[in-house]
Amino acid sequence: MKEGDELAAQIHLDAELLAQVKACLEETGFATVEAFVHFCVENEKELKVRRDAEEKALAERLRGLGYLE
- Give yes or no for a contact between 21 and 37, defined as CB atoms under 8 angstroms apart: yes
Helix 15-28 / helix 33-64 crossing angle, nearest 10 deg? 90
pTM equals: 0.71
Per-residue pLDDT of the chain (69 residues; tens, 9 = 90+): 455 566 778 889 999 999 999 999 989 999 999 999 999 999 999 999 999 999 999 999 999 999 998
Give how far Cα 41 sits from Cα of 47, 57, 69, Å. Answer: 10, 24, 35
- Give the H or E element holding residue 66: none
pLDDT value of residue 25: 92
pLDDT value of residue 21: 94
pLDDT value of residue 42: 96
Domain-by-domain residue ranges, the chain? Answer: 31-69
